[in-house]
Amino acid sequence: MAIEVTASHFSVMVKGAAQVFSAGPPLVEHATGEQLTKEELGGWEVATRAGTVDNAVDTEDEALEQVRRFLSYLPSHVWELPPVIAATDDPHRRDVALRDAVPTTRRPVDTRAVIRSICDEGSVFEIGARCGRAVVATLARLDGRPCAVLGTDGRFDGAGFSVEASQKLTRFVDFADTFHLPVVYLVDNPGVMIGLAAEQAGTLRAGCRALSAVHETRIPWASVLVRRCFGVGGATHRNEARHSLRVAWPSGSWGSLPLEGGVEAAYKRIIEAAPDPEAARAELHARLQAVRSPFRTAEGFGVEDIIDPADTRSVLCRWIRTAYHTLAADGAKPSGRTFRP
């Protein structure tokens, strides 16, 4: 049944050979008048964009290989911890190219390249790349230890959280919590989507649900503030009551609102009442730019450290060893709540 596919922790389909839908073409035509083929109604392009199915491949052999690979990160059941394998990649490996990973222009960060750099070589397995595309959700290993790695893709919605992106984040965090997978989140998020279409879609409720999912987790969580961390979306990056780490790259920038547009929203009356509105706006920008410096945040213990991006892997490999010690000390047991498909 189609519902079993959507209720599963992971699903994969073969392009051109599999379709998923609530009702087939004859019933759809009778009920709605739409004349569609099975592929048009529930083929891989429709199903993976909608999030009904996670991944799509070209052959059955590839599908079975993806299932095997997916299961390789997980314990046999929820009363066990994920399986640790012998590390084949140096946990102290540095990548100086990460110092230039954040563009100085408005171009997006290549989050997938960053994830591949910091994780064990060849260990990254992405889930649901075509749905909620502002969120990047992957399984990977750090020093042989399985983890869930989250990031954002600024090519879609500027990395803002839409309803679909929020739902994807919620489901992936629930999944990680179910199977005791520590989470690494590379934070570059301007907040939830704004505008009329976003309000009509109920984006705030979906974003709040994602925030709740993060703060309900019991698993260790590491946040690396790569660039932007604003608003509700920016707040969705760790449960501070659990074993956690919060570090930043020097390129990190955060606050309630981005300065671009935020100053006009928060200080509209002051700017309009000033003898020279442009000078007032520039002065506010300069003052607030200094406040949002990551170095000031580190001085106030808002982050544990500001790190050289080249050392991100070694920092996270050291952290995940402590994370697994914490998991072992707590004992593996069910999360106490049901998985949200």
What average pLDDT score do residues 277-305 get? 66
Residues in contact with 84: Cβ distance below 8 Å, sequence separation at least 6, in sequence order? 144, 145, 146, 324
- pLDDT in the model for residue 284: 58
pLDDT band at 303 (very low <50, low <70, confident <90, very high): confident
**Separation of first and last alpha carbons in the chain:** 15
Q: What angle do CA 337, 128, 180 make, to 5 degrees?
A: 35
Q: What angle do CA 110, 84, 73 make, to 5 degrees?
A: 55
- pLDDT in the model for residue 269: 64
Residue type at 184? V
- 220-241 per-position pLDDT tens digit: 999 999 998 877 656 667 777 7
Q: Where in the chain is the domain with CATH 3.90.226.10?
A: 76-249+307-330
Contact between 159 and 190 (Cβ < 8 Å): yes
- pLDDT in the model for residue 50: 94
Q: Is residue 23 helix, strand or coil?
A: coil
Bridge partners for 146 per DSSP? 141
What average pLDDT score do residues 323-337 get? 84
* Residue 247: its H or E element: strand 244-248
The secondary structure of 34-101 as a DSSP string is: ----HHHHHSHHHHHHHTSSSEEESSHHHHHHHHHHHHHTS-SSTTSPPPP----S-TT---GGGGGS
Q: Which residue reads 């934070």 in tokens? A: 187
Rg (CA), the chain: 22
Count H helices and E strands in the chain, helices first. 15, 10
Q: What angle do CA 327, 330, 334 make, to 5 degrees?
A: 85
- pLDDT in the model for residue 299: 62
CB atoms within 10 A of CB 98: 20
Residue 98 pLDDT greater than 80, yes or no = yes
Question: Which tokens hold the place of 288?
Answer: 């607030």
Q: Can you tell me the distance from the alpha carbon of 149 to that of 125, in angstroms, rounded to the nearest whole number?
A: 10
What average pLDDT score do residues 236-255 get? 80
CATH topology of domain 76-249+307-330: 2-enoyl-CoA Hydratase; Chain A, domain 1 (3.90.226)
- pLDDT in the model for residue 254: 72
- pLDDT in the model for residue 340: 66
Q: Can you tell me the distance from the alpha carbon of 321 to that of 324, in angstroms, rounded to the nearest whole number?
A: 5
Q: Which residue reads 């309000």 in tokens? A: 199
Half-sphere exposure for 293 (CA within 13 Å, toward CB)? 9
- pLDDT in the model for residue 13: 96
